[in-house]
Amino acid sequence: MFKNIILTGFMGVGKTCVGTRLAKDLGYTFVDTDELIEADQNLAITSIFAKFGEPYFREIEAKIIREVSQRESQVVSAGGGAVIWDRNRDAFRKAGLVVCLTARPEVIYERIKQETHRPLLQTADPLAKIRELLDSRAQFYAQADVTIDTSGKSVDDVISAIKERIKHAYC
């Protein structure tokens, strides 16, 4: 088994839903880097962005990722933009199997359109912003060991696909 399973991908692709269930199935601990950032800063992510800006947030995120990457037997849900920094991708690669969950922009929008805690989507045209961010991050998401499109798939389907990829990694 891998030391850790790291789930990357854009917001709304299912990292938390899949990650919590996958961790339970594997007997691993589920870790959400965004939750750890909020606990570390004693602030919601939207407040961190509003008070200090994205560069500050990304520095805290990198610190949390370094800490999490030192542990084992975890399924880690990484924030959607964590992959934009080389040091985070390097830490993920060293920490375990990197699985990128994807979904079509329209699917992502439908999944998150009612949520107000997404600071990067507080814009007049969130779907256009989703497309823009997906395009700018595509090269980084593509560096994952495994990519699984969650569009139209159940959590069980996605977990089965991940487990199948893990199994093949050992054969």
All domains of the chain in start order, with CATH: 4-169 (3.40.50.300)
pLDDT of 27 reads 96
Residues 113-163 have pLDDT tens digits of 887 677 667 788 989 999 999 999 999 999 999 999 999 999 999 999 999
Neighbours of 128 (CB within 10 A): 12
Residues 24-83 have pLDDT tens digits of 999 999 999 999 999 999 999 989 999 999 999 999 999 999 999 999 999 999 999 999
pLDDT of 122 reads 79
User: Which residue, among 99, 94, 59, has the nearest Cα to 78 in the 3D structure?
Assistant: 99
Q: Please, which contacts does 33-36 make with residues 24 or more away whose CB atoms are closer than 8 Å? A: 33/61, 33/64, 33/65, 33/68, 33/76, 33/77, 33/78, 33/79, 33/82, 34/77, 34/79, 36/64, 36/67, 36/68
Q: CB–CB of 64/40 below 8 Å?
A: yes
